[in-house]
Amino acid sequence: MPVIDMSTLKPVGEFGSKAWGEACVEASLKILEAANLPSTITWAFSENYTHPPARLMEGGRTHAGYYIMIKEGKVTAGDGFIEELLTIPGFHAKIPWGCICNQSGAIYGSEGQKQRQADQKVLYAAIEEYVGHENPFGHEINSEGNPSQMLDPVGSWPPEVGRALGEGGEEGNGLHNIAATLQSESPEYADLPVTAIRVPIFGEMTEQQKADFVKLCGIKM
């Protein structure tokens, strides 16, 4: 049975906000502490959202996002980002807030994840065509020489961690759906055309919406 009772959750803040990040951290810690991870696991998870709206960075906050760090089976987590994370292989994403905010609030299982990825591929291709050059989001170049939102060092999800954080995902539980349930709406997306999985549809935006969305993603024309 999943550790988190979804019926007890409600939106606490926008995607990438401090309140939202802290709530995601609290849930992550409960899940992973209950999993009794073996001491053989050293791995890290971080999501660093760049170009967030200024309202999310009040109070001297320097990064929008949250992290989970596991050292020899011991779990720590927090709002924001710390450089130590990038000394540990894991899942490290650095991506513009505007690119993924809205769809991160969608509830889905494995099929929904595939649809989100497909819809995002269309979105990113449309933005690249609009901007007129490759890597419009300014992704860092990875060890293979390619721009990527995933930062080195990359490390596979330990099975014990994946099972714990993904438990109940097909039924609306799991870390993604917990985070989505905790997320409140952001005003930037109120009038944008979106897919069923909440991914913005760039091709159906007005010219002003396109210009505003590109700016929201931190892209300079």
Mean pLDDT of 5-9: 97
Residue 157 dihedral angles phi and psi, to the nearest 5°: -65, 125
The dihedral sign for the CA sequence 176, 182, 183, 185: positive
Q: What is the pLDDT of residues 150-207, one digit of tens each?
A: 999 999 999 999 999 999 999 999 999 999 999 999 999 999 999 999 999 999 999 9
Torsion from C-alpha of 145, 147, 148, 152, nearest 10 degrees? 40
Q: Which residues pair with 91 in a beta bridge?
A: 45
Per-residue model confidence (pLDDT) at position 220: 87
Q: Is 191 exposed, middle or buried (0-12, 13-18, 19+ CB in 10 A)?
A: exposed
Tokens of 191: 């009038």
Q: Report pTM.
A: 0.95
CA distance 49 to 63: 7
Q: Which residues pair with 94 in a beta bridge?
A: 48
Q: What is the pLDDT of residues 93-152, one digit of tens each?
A: 999 999 999 999 999 999 999 999 999 999 999 999 999 999 999 999 998 999 999 999
Angle 26-183-8 from CA coordinates, rounded to 5°: 55
- Tell me, what amino acid is at 205? M
**Other Cβ atoms within 10 Å of 27 Cβ, number:** 20
